[in-house]
Amino acid sequence: MPALILASTSRYRQELLSRLRLPFETVAPEVDETALPGEAPAALAERLALAKARVVAAAHPGAIVIGSDQVADLGGAAIGKPGGHERAAEQLRQMSGREVVFQTAVAVVAPGLAAIERAEVRVRVRELSDAAIEAYLRADQPYDCAGSAKVESLGIALLEAVESDDPTALIGLPLIRTCALLRRAGLEPLA
């Protein structure tokens, strides 16, 4: 069986991929994640997912490499990882009472294959008071998450609804699409 590599150092993606019970290693992709001028959030997620997989695959010939990227889209504008408390509070204030679309792309690059899929997750954020935002940020500290919320923990309390056909996409790796791409690469998760 060829090596399976996750082109990511994200602990969230590692945890998700481990659900498939396939042995894999992780390699940090060296990819500039800066958006191109005028690049839409969905296009940015797709470009970065494929670039991450290709960069790592080039250094590991014969491997099956998974790359993924997520971009939060608020009214057509990309919202990145906040990096700190003040930026996270500002993001949550902007998202309060609005819909945010999380564009999560996954790519698999393997011998004879370079394929990409994208999952879209629509999230309705409830109206948030400054006190609720502060309480949440102190509790979860989601400074490494696009959109400043961890739906897999207390961040779920910020939301009114989540709509997706691939639910793990919101956490950062759409596993339904990942399984389909792995099968195309000749790796059956249930074998």
Q: Which residues are catalytic?
A: 69
Give the separation between CA 169 and CA 151, rounded to whole angstroms: 11
For helices 130-140 and 85-95, the axis angle rounded to 10 degrees is 130
Give SS3 for 70. Answer: strand
Q: Tell me how far CA of residue 117 lies from CA of 50, 108, 135, 179, in angstroms.
A: 10, 9, 36, 11
**What are the CA-CA distances from residue 127 to residues 46, 52, 99, 131 (Å)?**
30, 36, 11, 12
